């Protein structure tokens, strides 16, 4: 019986490359000359610390980071940025968290979305991924299109497609 897994993973090597590219761009941009602005990737906590001298520049840095992530094949919605920026001394910073895995509330939402579609497939939660099985390959492809178009606020990948 054909099946596949729905996962939400971010390749940390690509994130590292995007952060390095964003750092290079900030160093060469005229509007960031003589300004303390940087990106710091913490792979253990899966966060990116964005640091600058003003909150306006933080927003600019986040736009640069999202553009570089998108170039490396990582969607901008895969980083979660808090609304409030932290101000300490003369610098502002924010810790953007990478979304790895699918939270249980989101898993339940996806399973409900699949079941409400009335397709002849079964969806079951397995840890941080969802296994979808069905008799017809077309039904599985319809589920993929449904999840992609569901606007769930998080990028999903489909792995282990078996026939």
CATH number of residue 36's parent domain:
3.30.70.990
| Domain limit, last residue, from 98, 125, 144 | 98
Residues 115, 80 within the same domain: no
Same domain, 131 and 56: no
Question: Are residue 50 and residue 62 in the same domain, yes or no?
Answer: yes
* CATH code (residue 157): 3.30.70.860
The per-residue pLDDT for range 1-15, each reduced to its tens digit, is: 888 888 888 889 999
CA distance between the termini of the chain: 6
* Among candidate residues 81, 98, 115, the one where a domain is terminated: 98
Q: Are residues 43 and 88 in the same domain?
A: yes
SS3 content of the chain, % helix, strand, coil (to 5): 40, 30, 30
Same domain, 41 and 58: yes
What is the full per-residue pLDDT of the chain (163 aa) written as tens digits? 888 888 888 889 999 999 999 999 999 888 888 888 889 999 899 999 999 988 888 999 999 999 999 999 888 888 888 888 888 888 888 999 998 888 888 888 888 888 888 888 888 888 888 898 988 888 888 888 888 887 788 888 888 888 7
Domain count, the chain: 2
Structural domain span for residue 114: 3-8+101-162
Nearest to 154 by CA among 8, 4, 5: 8
Is the pTM of the predicted complex or chain greater than 0.75?
Answer: yes
Q: Is there a single domain that holds both residue 39 and residue 54?
A: yes
């Amino acid at each position: 019986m054909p099946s596949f897994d729905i996962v939400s993973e971010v390749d940390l090597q690509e994130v590292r490359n995007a952060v390095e590219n964003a750092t290079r761009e900030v160093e060469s941009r005229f509007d960031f000359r003589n300004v303390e602005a940087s990106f710091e990737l913490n792979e253990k906590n899966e966060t990116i610390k964005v640091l600058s001298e003003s909150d306006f520049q933080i927003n600019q840095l986040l736009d640069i980071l999202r553009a570089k992530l998108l170039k490396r094949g990582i969607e901008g919605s895969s980083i979660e940025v808090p609304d409030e920026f932290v101000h300490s001394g003369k610098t502002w910073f924010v810790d953007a968290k990478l979304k790895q895995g699918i939270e249980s509330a989101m898993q339940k939402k996806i399973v409900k979305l699949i079941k409400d579609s009335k397709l002849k497939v079964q969806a079951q939660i397995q840890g941080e991924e969802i296994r979808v099985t069905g008799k017809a390959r077309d039904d599985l492809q319809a589920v993929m299109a449904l999840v992609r178009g569901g606007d769930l606020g998080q990028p999903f990948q489909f792995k282990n497609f078996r026939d």
